């Protein structure tokens, strides 16, 4: 139910804002609007308002919407309304009206990102863990505890900022990452030309072999008469290093303990009072339940191991927030466009295309993670919606813009017969894409 409500709210906001873009610019251009519809299909509610008695309605199928304008091609127009008919407007006005929908989606995404930036949020500092052996990250001399401070000269303030900037550089062959190592500047060059932004594995860090250090492992719930307790470890002790590995991650520590049965592990510990000490612990083998509740023999030290995230609070002023919102919107647009081109060129599979079921699933998950994550999700979907509508496919806004561009070149509108064929081709494309997206959704549900 949460996913459904979050999905309907998301679709409601994004579609309404898209259609409001068309509506407002149409009114500014002097075009008469007869109906503003949220959704398709049977009418659930409607009310006429305003000087032109525009009918505002909610329809049964909330997967789209439309703004109906006075147009001689769609029926008889009263003589007094002829100057306000859409088809009688200059080609430049028609381009402005059609472009306004996708533009509204881009502006909405920018606003969401700017709002998050101004309100501020706690972010994990972008710090490296030991890179995966044999990968690009390992060969360019990235080391554990290297802090990422910039990419191609642009400052990096937090983990999210790092992610956006890195995604925006996908496809480029020479990207310089600025790091801070033991307080000193250090740079590495990365080749992102082979990065895939769609398909089964779109984790750019994993493709490069970059592992991130999210914070120190922290010990809690120590059990009496087990190695950790006997060695003098305490609740809320934080692990600085183990067996000489500074910047050890949560996973690396678990693996080290499980592979060290009856062999000492040398810890460097920071206590909750800030003091640093060395402790030697020898893991022992016990019968413990696995993830499925089945008993297995495994080396343990007798405590839970959590994570103390390395956080920093980041907030912007209004002007910097708008700039941040714009940059994030541009990054998402570039990333989405790169993904579309990879699907179109065959570099990525068609299974990367998602439909309403997948979107609803993500909507439910993000809303449970907090309003900032949900707004970021809405911003990304808004960009996708705007970019999708700009595709030069008849039936979409981009298809109409293509018609108007050809009209400007020819000096007169395209023949009605050509536009009718285009509408049929566009309908076939949209229905086929919808079927593919729903099929992918269904396959994901089965998996």
The rounded distance, in Å, linking the Cα atoms of 405 and 92 is 10
Look up the CATH number of the domain holding residue 172.
Answer: 2.30.42.10
Exposure class string for 170-185: b at 16+ Cβ within 10 A, else e: bbeeebebbbeeeeee
The rounded distance, in Å, linking the Cα atoms of 71 and 22 is 15
Task: For residue 19, indicate whether it is catalytic.
Answer: yes
Contact predicate 283/302, CB 8 Å: no
The rounded distance, in Å, linking the Cα atoms of 382 and 228 is 50
The reported pLDDT for the residue numbered 420 is: 82
The reported pLDDT for the residue numbered 94 is: 95
Q: What is the pLDDT along the chain (447 residues), one digit of tens a residue?
A: 778 888 888 888 999 999 999 999 999 999 999 999 988 888 889 999 988 899 999 988 887 788 999 998 888 888 898 999 999 999 999 999 999 999 999 999 999 999 999 999 888 899 999 999 999 999 999 999 999 999 999 889 888 889 888 888 888 889 999 999 988 999 999 998 888 766 555 788 999 999 999 999 999 999 999 999 999 999 999 999 999 999 899 999 999 999 999 999 999 999 988 899 999 999 999 988 877 778 888 999 999 999 988 888 888 999 999 998 998 899 889 888 877 787 777 766 667 777 788 888 888 888 888 888 899 999 999 999 999 999 998 889 999 999 999 989 988 888 888 888 888 888 888 888 888 777 877 777 776
The reported pLDDT for the residue numbered 339 is: 78
The reported pLDDT for the residue numbered 413 is: 85
Same domain flag for 321 and 436: yes
Same domain flag for 206 and 220: no
In a domain, 384, yes or no: yes
In a domain, 31, yes or no: no
**CB contact set of 391 (below 8 Å; sequence gap of 6+):** 398, 399
Same domain flag for 420 and 382: yes
In a domain, 76, yes or no: no
pTM: 0.76
The reported pLDDT for the residue numbered 199 is: 55
Same domain flag for 186 and 221: no
Same domain flag for 366 and 420: yes
In a domain, 145, yes or no: yes
Same domain flag for 439 and 353: yes
Same domain flag for 233 and 204: no
In a domain, 157, yes or no: yes
Domain that holds residue 233: 215-286
Same domain flag for 372 and 443: yes
In a domain, 301, yes or no: no
Same domain flag for 324 and 405: yes
Q: How many distinct structural domains can be found in the chain?
A: 3
Phi, psi values for residue 123, rounded to 5°? -125, 150
- Spot the catalytic one: 19, 123, 252, 324: 19
Same domain flag for 389 and 443: yes
In a domain, 58, yes or no: no
In a domain, 305, yes or no: no
Same domain flag for 360 and 426: yes
The rounded distance, in Å, linking the Cα atoms of 409 and 406 is 5
Which residues lie across from 219 on neighbouring strands? 305
The reported pLDDT for the residue numbered 201 is: 58
The rounded distance, in Å, linking the Cα atoms of 220 and 360 is 37
Same domain flag for 276 and 155: no
| Residue whose C-alpha is closest to residue 365's, from 374, 376, 378, 352 | 374
């Amino acid at each position: 139910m949460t996913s459904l409500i979050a999905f309907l709210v998301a679709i409601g906001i994004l579609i309404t804002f898209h259609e409001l873009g068309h509506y407002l610019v149409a009114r500014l251009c002097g075009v008469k609007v007869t109906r503003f519809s949220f959704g398709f299909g049977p009418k659930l509610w409607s009310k006429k308002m305003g000087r032109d008695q525009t009918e505002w309605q909610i329809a049964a199928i909330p997967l789209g919407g439309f703004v109906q304008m006075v147009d001689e091609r769609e029926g008889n127009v009263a003589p007094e309304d002829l100057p306000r008919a859409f088809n009688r407007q200059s080609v430049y006005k028609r381009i402005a009206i059609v472009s306004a929908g996708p533009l509204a989606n881009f502006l909405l995404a920018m606003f969401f990102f700017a709002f998050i930036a101004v309100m501020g949020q706690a972010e994990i500092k972008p710090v490296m863990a030991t890179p995966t052996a044999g990968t690009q990250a390992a060969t360019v001399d990235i080391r554990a505890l290297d802090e990422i401070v910039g990419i191609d000269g642009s400052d990096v303030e937090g983990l999210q900022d790092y992610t956006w900037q890195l995604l925006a550089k996908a496809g480029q062959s020479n990207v310089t990452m600025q790091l801070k190592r033991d307080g000193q500047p250090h740079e590495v060059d990365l080749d992102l030309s082979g990065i895939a932004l769609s398909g089964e594995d779109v984790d750019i860090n994993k493709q490069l072999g970059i592992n991130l250090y999210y914070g120190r492992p922290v010990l809690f719930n120590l059990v009496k008469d087990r190695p950790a307790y006997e060695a003098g470890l305490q609740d809320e002790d934080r692990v600085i290093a183990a067996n000489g590995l500074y910047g050890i991650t949560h996973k690396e520590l678990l693996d080290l303990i499980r592979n060290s049965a009856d062999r000492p592990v040398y810890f460097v510990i920071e206590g909750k009072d800030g003091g640093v000490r060395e402790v030697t612990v020898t893991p022992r083998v016990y019968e413990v339940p696995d993830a499925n509740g089945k008993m297995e023999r495994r080396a343990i030290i007798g405590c839970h191991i959590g994570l103390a995230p390395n956080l920093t609070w980041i907030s912007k002023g209004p002007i910097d927030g708008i700039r941040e919102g714009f940059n994030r919107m541009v990054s998402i647009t570039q990333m989405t466009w790169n993904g579309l081109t990879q699907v179109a060129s065959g570099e990525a599979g068609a299974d990367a295309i998602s439909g309403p079921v997948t979107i609803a699933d993500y909507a439910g998950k993000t809303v449970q993670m907090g309003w900032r994550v949900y707004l970021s999700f809405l911003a990304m979907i808004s960009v996708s919606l705007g970019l999708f509508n700009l595709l030069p496919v008849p039936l979409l806004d981009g298809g109409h813009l293509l018609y108007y561009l050809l009209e400007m070149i020819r000096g007169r509108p395209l023949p009605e017969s050509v536009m009718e064929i285009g509408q049929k081709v566009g309908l076939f494309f949209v229905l086929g894409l919808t079927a593919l997206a729903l099929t992918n959704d269904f396959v994901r549900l089965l998996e």
